[in-house]
Amino acid sequence: MMRVLAIALVAALVLVGASLDTSAQSDAPPIKIGYAISRTGPFAPGAQATQEPSYILWAEQVNAAGGLNVKGQKRKIELVSYDDRSEVETIVRTFEKLMVTDKVDLILPPWGSTANFAVAPLADKHGYPVLAPTALSMKLVDMKLPNFFSMLPQPYVLMAAAADMLAANGVKTVAVIYMDDVFGLENIAAFEPAVKAKGIEIVDKKSYPLGIKDLSPVLRAIKDKNPDAFVGLTYPPDTILASKQSKEIGFNPKVFFTAVGTAFPLYKQVMGADSDGVSGIGSWSVKTSPAAKAYFDAHVKRFQKEPDRWASAHCWAGLQILQAAIEKVGMDRKAIREYIASNEHATIIGPVRFKGSEIQFPGTVGQWVGGDFEVVWPANRATAKLVVPKPAWK
Amino acid sequence: MRLWIELVVSGLITGGIYALVAMGLNLQYGLMRILNVSHGEFLMLGAYLTYWAYLVMHLSPFVFLPPLLVGLFVVGLVVHRLCFRRLAETTPEVEAFEARSLLVGFGLMFVVQNVALLVWGADLRGYQYLAGTVSIAGVGFTANRLVAFAAALVLGLGLIAVLRATLLGRAVRAMMQSPTGALLVGIDVRRLHPAVFGVGLALAGAAGALLSMVFEISPSMGEPYTVTALIVIALGGFGSVTGSLLGGLLLGVVEAIGMHLTSPSLKMVLSYGVFMLVLITRPNGLFVR
Amino acid sequence: MARRGLAAVAGGAAVAAALPWLLDDFLVSLALSCLMYVALATSWAMFSGATRYVSLGTSAFFGLGAYVSAWTVAAAPWPVVIAGGALIAAAFAGLAGLAILHLRGTYFAVLTFGMSELTRHAVTYGEKQYAGTVGRVLTVAPSSRTVYLTVLAIAVAAVGVAVVVRGSRFGLALIGIGADEQRAQTLGVPTRRVKVAGFALSAAFAGAAGAAMAVRWTYIDPTAVFNPFIGLQTVLIAIVGGPLSLTGPLLAALVFSLLAEFLRLQFPYAYLIALGILLIVAVLYLPQGLAGLWQTRARAERPTAAR
């Protein structure tokens, strides 16, 4: 038994040795930025669609320009990245390694609410600021961690915008389905009071579990109630499933709204012309700003795939804020945190600032219009005109 | 009444695919006692190859199906040769063999899934094929779902016919009923086992090809289907291929109706509850007298 | 044998207990992960290795323990939380065992898998209906050192109990059931009671481990804590180690956790492929598990020593 433990100890020490392997030191040492993200496991599709490509693209762009300007010195970025296997324990352990063993200069957040719940307190404890582009939960915001910043507007903001849009277009009745997890439950909890305040009646409300393969029985029941609008607080596979099966049964309400994944390029690939007029959560398009267009083009060029029209740009905006902070105040993490918390930042999604952990950014609604995903609500953010009623499925 | 017809047909369509996934796995288990938990990974492989053929070579999934079946059959021969032949030779005792082949299955799962990740990336993918709606007696169905169901049924019934009517099929059935007896009457196990393992993988690949027309695909898509296959096998009886066909169809219908009567959230609790109840009270499957 | 074993456990535990003061957070986390799998694999082998009832239900017990922790950690003292996790998991395993322990082999394996999925969905549904949420935020948590020492204690307890059980009548009964259940029954072993008790006992450790680990994650939901992978990995480790031996699963837990982590950090894209191939090779060429390596040697040496 003792021998076993001795072996374990030696193996562990070898690991430390391997990880402490220092690369050649130049006069301007690179800025080490570490992260763990899902390359395998159930979180991987989301993480690879909206988050990690932006990290890589950002580092490459900065380095191509000679590096970041830190107190008059050009320093390149060195990304230290690991797979987190979509497992919370692995996520926690890897971020401990990054912050404590590797002593990276800064960290970038993992993908998804669950992972950020685990990392946010840990990063806060070690004094690393985090700008999370894919954490959507008021519970996380309510923990009031000084080093945690959410790049996405929270459910009550998103759902209020959706309710405004429905009411402004004469919707009187709505049917809603939502997923049995923190995303679905927090959004439905925000959605119900928001539509009630606008005098809209919820005629059907059904929840469903992760990994559902057939929604047609639910959709057929909803179709019989003939609501003006359908709202799905869904994830990418279910977003597409609900769309395909609504078409299958000929359910075509005035407004058809689905949540995550509607803004993915995948949606158009699999729905084709049927995507036209489908609304969903989305906050930007190439028409939002020239910078947004540049980001879009660079992303397509580097990865041969489009970024999604929601969180991808929020992720990029977070990186822009981090970059501005470093170039302004240097590598001191406390100063970076202060800078992020107390300034207004120019980003590709427009000017943003933070109140506590919350980003000050309006709720938006997007829609597939003429073959592209555009922002259609509120009017001052719109890049295209909202189409209501939704055209028939092809 | 119309609603009920819709529910039943919709359930049968889902169930047909369940059945096809389960039949290949059950064939392997029934004959060789290999509970291949990487079954879903080969399904995923079939789905990706079909997607890739459609996108790059513009081949219809149905044109691609025959080469896919042959390809996965060959993969099955190779996997059997590399992994299970030695295992069967060194582990004569059935229970130990089952446990260890389970582990080999996990190993295969890691390998296949992550090779797919390296090659295709983690993103969800999909394509449009036969996405139009067909109306049957006033009820609309997406064409690809109907076609997938028909293909699953043809393959499933075809397999059963082969098992019943041909000499080879009878040999397989004899082996499933009495391995020693079959040996005594001169059935060549060394050829039969790899072949049947290959057929199992080919069926998984076919199921993947059909599913890729209907659902989005990702490297981790396989696991849930392995689980569904296990449930179907338990319902229909371990080692009974016909039972799997009936069990798959039944599960599809029960799920659709259950979801309508309760809620989708409760559906999973009910499915697993029914599954456990059947296994506890009727371990040989629902259809055994 | 038992006394030497217990002494070794005590020595190993003393070394492990000093680690938080010697190593940095990451290495302690890594050690924690090893210890968790030591506890899970050893307790699994205690029942499933001996009786050959291969259980895939470890994740159900682990998840239940985690939820007990989430429900009570803010209100109850830490030891009570851990004991609660262990008790609830054991009680659940006892009840489930009464219903399913008459089926052997693949049936039992599939049933326990179904049981853990059923538990996951039932907890999801129950939480949603009665608490209006599925995930739980754990803002009150003991220090990471406390968690480490707790998991160490659970692992030591699992190993210690396994050592004691092996030498007891109860342990012999379990092995008797594994060798030939009908004969054991004929010889007067109350097989049903022994099986249910063994199943519950092994579940208690998984429940305790779940209760201790949950507080590290700040937020738990059913998908994370009932992750079937936890159960599969446990079985994998125990069988690779050699399910009938005591040191086998223990050693395999260490080797597997360290190797998996090393490969993950060094080869971020291909490590799971390597792990899969290693697993297959290990199963094919180490029929008795890792334990076979030194057991064969011991057997080979013994005749010489006797002479």
Least confident residue range of A258-267, B161-170, C34-43: B161-170
What's residue A24's pLDDT? Answer: 41
Mean of pLDDT values over B231-252 = 89
Q: Of the candidates C107, C275, C283, which has its C-beta nearest B103's C-beta?
A: C283
* Residue in A with minimal Cα distance to B17: A213
**Total domains present in chain B:** 1
Residue C135 gets the label, from left (phi > 0), alpha (psi -120 to 50) or beta, of beta
- Asked if A166 and A229 touch (Cβ cutoff 8 Å), the reply is yes
Residues A55 and A150 both lie in one domain: yes
Does residue A54 or residue B279 have the better pLDDT? A54
Does residue A59 or residue B173 have the better pLDDT? A59
A389 found inside a domain: no
B289 found inside a domain: no
A273 found inside a domain: yes
C218 touches chain A (CB under 8 A): yes
C117 and B227 within 8 Å at the Cβ level: the answer is yes
CA distances from A271 to A135, A262, B125, B180, B234 (A): 27, 10, 12, 54, 36
B288 found inside a domain: no
Residues A183 and A279 both lie in one domain: yes
A139 touches chain C (CB under 8 A): yes
B157 touches chain A (CB under 8 A): no
What's residue A7's pLDDT? Answer: 56
Q: What is the pLDDT of residues B18-37, one digit of tens each?
A: 999 999 999 998 888 888 98
Q: Does residue C302 have a pLDDT over 50? A: no
Q: Of the candidates C8, C268, C269, which has its C-beta nearest A1's C-beta?
A: C8
Taking alpha carbons only, the member of A254, A313, A326, A303 closest to residue A281 is A313
Q: Is the dihedral of CA A134, A137, A141, A143 positive or negative?
A: negative
- Asked if A242 and A234 touch (Cβ cutoff 8 Å), the reply is yes
What's residue A222's pLDDT? Answer: 94
Q: Of the candidates A41, A245, A266, which has its C-beta nearest B126's C-beta?
A: A266
- Scan for tokens 């374990």, then name that residue: A8
B283 and C103 within 8 Å at the Cβ level: the answer is yes
A266 and B125 within 8 Å at the Cβ level: the answer is yes
Provide the shortest C-alpha distance from residue B92 to chain A (in Å).
32
Provide the shortest C-alpha distance from residue B166 to chain A (in Å).
36
What's residue A15's pLDDT? Answer: 54
Candidates C27, C118, C128, partner chain A, best to mutate (most A CBs within 10 A): C27
What's residue C305's pLDDT? Answer: 39
Does residue C148 or residue B224 have the better pLDDT? C148
Q: Of the candidates A15, A81, A180, which has its C-beta nearest C262's C-beta?
A: A15
Candidates C26, C36, C144, C221, partner chain A, best to mutate (most A CBs within 10 A): C26
**Can you tell me the distance from the alpha carbon of B175 to that of B86, in angstroms, rounded to the nearest whole number?**
19
Provide the shortest C-alpha distance from residue C15 to chain B (in Å).
32
Residues A267 and A353 both lie in one domain: no
B107 and C111 within 8 Å at the Cβ level: the answer is no
Buried b (16+ CB within 10 A) or exposed e, C264-299: bbeeeeebbbbbbebbbebbbebebbbbbebbeeee
What's residue A268's pLDDT? Answer: 92
A45 and B127 within 8 Å at the Cβ level: the answer is no
Residues A374 and A352 both lie in one domain: no
Taking alpha carbons only, the member of A146, A94, A151 closest to residue A118 is A94
Residues A166 and A235 both lie in one domain: yes
* Residue in A with minimal Cα distance to B257: A217
CA B254 to centroid of chain Cα atoms: 19
Residues A138 and A66 both lie in one domain: yes
A111 found inside a domain: yes
Residue type, C87: L
Q: Could you say which residues from 161 to 180 on chain A have a Cβ atom under 8 Å away from some Cβ of chain C?
A: 180
Least confident residue range of A151-155, B34-38, B175-179, C215-219: B175-179
CA distances from A180 to A188, A208, A233, A286, C124 (A): 10, 6, 10, 33, 8
Per-residue confidence in pLDDT tens, chain A, 394 aa = 445 555 555 555 555 545 544 444 446 899 999 999 999 888 888 999 999 999 999 999 999 999 999 988 999 999 999 999 888 889 999 999 999 999 999 999 999 998 999 999 999 999 999 999 999 999 999 999 999 999 999 999 999 999 999 999 999 999 999 998 888 999 999 999 999 999 999 999 999 988 888 898 899 889 999 999 999 999 999 999 999 999 988 999 999 999 999 999 999 989 999 999 999 999 999 999 999 999 999 999 999 999 999 999 999 999 999 999 999 999 999 999 999 999 999 999 999 999 999 999 999 999 999 889 999 989 999 999 999 899 999 8
What's residue C9's pLDDT? Answer: 78
CA B77 to centroid of chain Cα atoms: 17
**Can you tell me the distance from the alpha carbon of C169 to that of B180, in angstroms, rounded to the nearest whole number?**
37
Domain with residue A104: its CATH number is 3.40.50.2300
C302 touches chain B (CB under 8 A): no
pLDDT band at C299 (very low <50, low <70, confident <90, very high): low
Residues A377 and A259 both lie in one domain: yes
Residues A162 and A273 both lie in one domain: yes
DSSP states along B157-173: HHHHHHHHHSHHHHHHH
B95 touches chain C (CB under 8 A): yes
Residues A215 and A199 both lie in one domain: yes
B117 and A44 within 8 Å at the Cβ level: the answer is yes
C224 and A114 within 8 Å at the Cβ level: the answer is yes
B161 found inside a domain: yes
**Total domains present in chain A:** 2
Residues of B in contact with A272 (CB under 8 A): 128, 131
DSSP states along B100-167: HHHHHHHHHHHHHHHHHHHHH-S--B---SS-SEEEETTEEEEHHHHHHHHHHHHHHHHHHHHHHHSH
Helix axes C58-72, C25-44, angle to 10 degrees: 130
Residues A143 and A55 both lie in one domain: yes
Q: Of the candidates A2, A39, A185, which has its C-beta nearest C134's C-beta?
A: A185
What's the domain range around B95? 2-281
Residues A266 and A370 both lie in one domain: yes
Residues A276 and A294 both lie in one domain: no
Residues of C in contact with A12 (CB under 8 A): 23, 27, 30-31, 258
What's the domain range around A196? 155-284+364-381
Q: Of the candidates B10, B128, B216, which has its C-beta nearest A214's C-beta?
A: B10
What's residue A9's pLDDT? Answer: 52
Q: Does residue B210 have a pLDDT over 80? A: yes
- DSSP label at A36? E
A221 found inside a domain: yes
CA distances from A236 to A209, B211, B226 (A): 13, 17, 22
A5 found inside a domain: no
Q: What is the pLDDT of residues C190-204, one digit of tens each?
A: 999 999 999 999 999
Residue A304 gets the label, from left (phi > 0), alpha (psi -120 to 50) or beta, of left
A127 touches chain C (CB under 8 A): no
pLDDT band at B139 (very low <50, low <70, confident <90, very high): confident
A329 found inside a domain: yes
Domain with residue B213: its CATH number is 1.10.3470
- Scan for tokens 């629902």, then name that residue: B286
- Asked if A131 and A321 touch (Cβ cutoff 8 Å), the reply is yes
